[in-house]
Amino acid sequence: MGVGLNARYLIGIWTGRPDGTPVVGQFGFASAVPLLNQVNNLLLARPAMSRGGLPSDPRPATVSQGTICWPGGQDLPAGDSNCRRRLASWLLDASQPPTLLLPGQESVRGIRFPVWRNEHGERVAADCPGARESQVEVWPLPLDPWLPASERRRARLGPASESCPPLQTQDTAPLVLSGIRDGAVIKRLPGEARVMLPLQTSGGEGRRWWFINGEPLEAAGARTTLMLDKPGEWQLVVMDEAGQTAAASFTLQ
Instruction: For residue 164, give the nearest of 205, 117, 206 by alpha carbon.
Output: 117
Whether residue 8 is predicted with pLDDT greater than 90 in this model: the reply is no
Query: What pLDDT is stored for residue 89 in this prediction?
Result: 95
Three-class SS state of 7: coil
- Phi, psi dihedrals of residue 121, rounded to the nearest 5°: 85, 10
| Mean per-residue pLDDT over the chain, rounded | 87
Whether residue 169 is predicted with pLDDT greater than 70 in this model: the reply is no
Whether residue 54 is predicted with pLDDT greater than 60 in this model: the reply is yes
Q: Report the CATH number that the domain containing residue 245 is assigned in CATH.
A: 2.60.40.10
Three-class SS state of 146: helix
Instruction: Give yes or no: residues 92 and 122 share one domain.
Output: no
pLDDT tier at 45, thresholds 50, 70, 90: confident
Tell me the mean pLDDT in the region 179-189: 90
Query: What pLDDT is stored for residue 243 in this prediction?
Result: 75
Query: What pLDDT is stored for residue 252 in this prediction?
Result: 93
Instruction: Give yes or no: residues 188 and 234 share one domain.
Output: yes
Instruction: Give yes or no: residues 21 and 66 share one domain.
Output: no
Q: Of 100, 129, 157, which residue sits at a domain end?
A: 100
Query: What pLDDT is stored for residue 88 in this prediction?
Result: 95
Query: What pLDDT is stored for residue 52 in this prediction?
Result: 67
The pTM of this model reads: 0.54
Domain total in the chain: 4
First-to-last CA distance in the chain?
36
Q: Which residues pair with 87 in a beta bridge?
A: 68
Q: Which has more pLDDT, 102 or 15?
A: 15
Residue 124 lies in a domain: yes
Query: What pLDDT is stored for residue 73 in this prediction?
Result: 93
Query: What pLDDT is stored for residue 203 in this prediction?
Result: 80
Instruction: Give yes or no: residues 141 and 181 share one domain.
Output: no
User: Measured between alpha carbons, how far is 105 from 176 in angstroms, rounded to an integer?
Assistant: 6
Check residue 105 and give left, alpha or beta (phi > 0: left; psi -120 to 50: alpha): alpha
Q: How far is CA 252 from CA 83, 123, 223, in A?
A: 45, 47, 21
Instruction: For residue 212, give the nearest of 248, 175, 253 by alpha carbon.
Output: 248
User: Measured between alpha carbons, how far is 92 from 86 in angstroms, rounded to an integer?
Assistant: 18
Whether residue 110 is predicted with pLDDT greater than 90 in this model: the reply is no
Q: Which has more pLDDT, 69 or 141?
A: 69
Instruction: Give yes or no: residues 119 and 153 share one domain.
Output: yes
Instruction: For residue 160, give the nearest of 129, 119, 122, 205 by alpha carbon.
Output: 122
Instruction: Give yes or no: residues 6 and 48 share one domain.
Output: yes
Percent of the chain with pLDDT over 70: 93
Instruction: Give yes or no: residues 238 and 184 share one domain.
Output: yes
Whether residue 144 is predicted with pLDDT greater than 90 in this model: the reply is no
Tell me the mean pLDDT in the region 188-212: 88
Domain that holds residue 35: 2-52
Which own/partner pairs from 240-243 qualify as long-range (CB within 8 Å, at least 24 positions apart)?
240/175, 240/201, 240/204, 240/205, 240/206, 240/207, 240/208, 240/209, 241/204, 241/205, 241/206, 241/207, 242/172, 242/175, 242/204, 242/205, 242/206
Tell me the mean pLDDT in the region 168-194: 82
